[in-house]
Amino acid sequence: MNALHDEPDAIHDVLGIGFGPSNLALAIAVEEHNARAAPEDRLHARFLERQPSFGWHRGMLIDDATMQVSFLKDLVTMRNPTSDFTFLCFLRERGRLVDFLNAKTLFPLRIEFHEYFEWAAARLSHLAEYDAEVVSVEPVTSDDGEVRWFDVTSRAPGAPERTVTRRARNISVAVGLEPHLPPGTALSERVWHNSELVPRVAQLTGAGTSVARILVLGAGQSGAEAVDFLHRSFPEAEICAVFAKYGYTPADDSPFANRIFDPEAVDVYFRSAPEVKQSLVEYHRSTNYSVVDMDLIESLYATMYREKVLGRERLRLRNVSRIRDVRTLDDRLDVTVEYLPTGEREVISSDLLVHATGYRPRDLDPLLGRAAKLCLRDHNDALLVDRDHRVEFSPEVTAGIYVQGVTEHTHGLTSTLLSTTAVRSGEILESLLTHRARDPLTSAECST
């Protein structure tokens, strides 16, 4: 059964697919615009989220893990410091503002920043619909042959036969990243991705399950955090880190390097030739990819050395190594680890294997369906995206698709990070208003 939404004549100015931090920031920008705009200038917005409630990397909300960006790079401050949706306003409402200031830190607990996101999302619940998984995006052509709208169909995961279709002039796609796994990896009760680390550990410790050894694959921040968390959570187990590097590499968070995350750096990157873009990414990979905060590196090293002194080494490294094979037996995993300098292979029996192997942008083609075929692409088959985050189309398409999180090739390293989320939401809002002002039929549609 396919049913139109409960406002059959309504056409959304923007329909968001996904309601994580990126579209949440856009929702705030739209809400603040509507609060000061005349009724005829307000934007009709809606956001669809397949999860039952707001959630952002819940599986890695380790109790003592901190953010890696300043709290000032929240959902709004870089766009509108006077907003009442800032992290500081959240702290004031929670009664923790003075306590946070006394802590003398720019980097809140990750679990607290998630609480901030939930607080902001709850204030915009009238714009969001949860348990709404988007299953198709269909271009809609007007009588004059223009693709002027998209029909977006969603369904509740628990009731796939019941669908709802909404029409929009623009869609904003922000569906987040998906876990990256080595080819051929099959997740199971014994093989995890670190995105499910915290609930998996809680399940085992709650059941009192005995664990003797855990392998963690990965040399980045999530891998180091997983090693540290597992070492604390299973005080009798051996935790073994496996990675191809010689050792963990410190993240470059120096002031000059961090300017790669400034809003102005997006302009520089966007205007650069392809070879310059590639150079910028390679030069500054150490700000984000496969690197670890220095404090955590030093803590792990101190733990290893202390255990060596005490004669009970639970935290171990298999560096310059790769996992070549994983065999699942009834009571364990047999993991073949190759030491790369010599090619020597060792089979290590383990209770669990955790892949801290990062994330990658989702392929949007299956989601966008026929709409994806209208998008223009470069010689690498990547989406052509304008500076305002709007996908390029041929002239007969006047409807818009804005993408967030899949534009590293056009907008640089900040694409998947929180650093410019607030600024990007303002840029998309401005683009929506600009395109609406250029469209002579929009006001007529709104008045019918």
Confidence (pLDDT) at 445: 54
Token pair 């890695």 is found at 60
DSSP string, 84-141: TTSHHHHHHHHT-HHHHHHTT-S--BHHHHHHHHHHHHHHTGGGEESS-EEEEEEEEE
Indicate if 243 and 383 belong to the same structural domain: no
Confidence grade of residue 439 (pLDDT, cut at 50, 70, 90): confident
Indicate if 426 and 411 belong to the same structural domain: yes
pLDDT tens across 305-355, in order? Answer: 999 999 999 999 999 999 999 999 999 999 999 999 999 999 999 999 999
Indicate if 189 and 144 belong to the same structural domain: no
Q: Are 60 and 194 in contact (CB under 8 A)?
A: yes
Q: End of a domain among 359, 377, 395?
A: 359
CA 215, CA 220: separation in Å to the nearest integer? 15
Residues above pLDDT 70, as percent of the chain:
96
For 409, other C-beta atoms within 10 Å of its C-beta total: 19
| Parent domain of 279 | 255-287
pTM over 0.75: yes
Indicate if 154 and 259 belong to the same structural domain: no
Indicate if 166 and 277 belong to the same structural domain: no
| pLDDT score of 386 more than 80 | yes
pLDDT tens across 170-229, in order? Answer: 999 999 999 999 999 999 999 999 999 999 999 999 999 999 999 999 999 999 999 999
CA 356, CA 217: separation in Å to the nearest integer? 6
Indicate if 36 and 168 belong to the same structural domain: yes
- Angle at Cα 140 formed by Cα 369 and Cα 439, nearest 5°? 120
CA 247, CA 257: separation in Å to the nearest integer? 22
Indicate if 206 and 92 belong to the same structural domain: no
Phi, psi of 153 (to 5 degrees): -105, 130
Phi, psi of 218 (to 5 degrees): 135, 140
Indicate if 52 and 113 belong to the same structural domain: yes
Q: Are 277 and 269 in contact (CB under 8 A)?
A: yes
Token pair 């902001």 is found at 120
Indicate if 161 and 193 belong to the same structural domain: no
As a whole number of Å, the CA-based R_g of the chain is 24
The mean of the pLDDT values for the chain is: 94
Indicate if 150 and 11 belong to the same structural domain: yes
| Assigned token pair, 32 | 């603040």
For the chain, what is the domain count?
3
Confidence grade of residue 440 (pLDDT, cut at 50, 70, 90): low
- How far from 192 is each of 201, 219, 352, CA to CA, in Å? 11, 16, 8
| pLDDT score of 298 more than 90 | yes
Indicate if 373 and 342 belong to the same structural domain: no
> In DSSP terms, which residues pair with 153 in a beta bridge?
136, 165
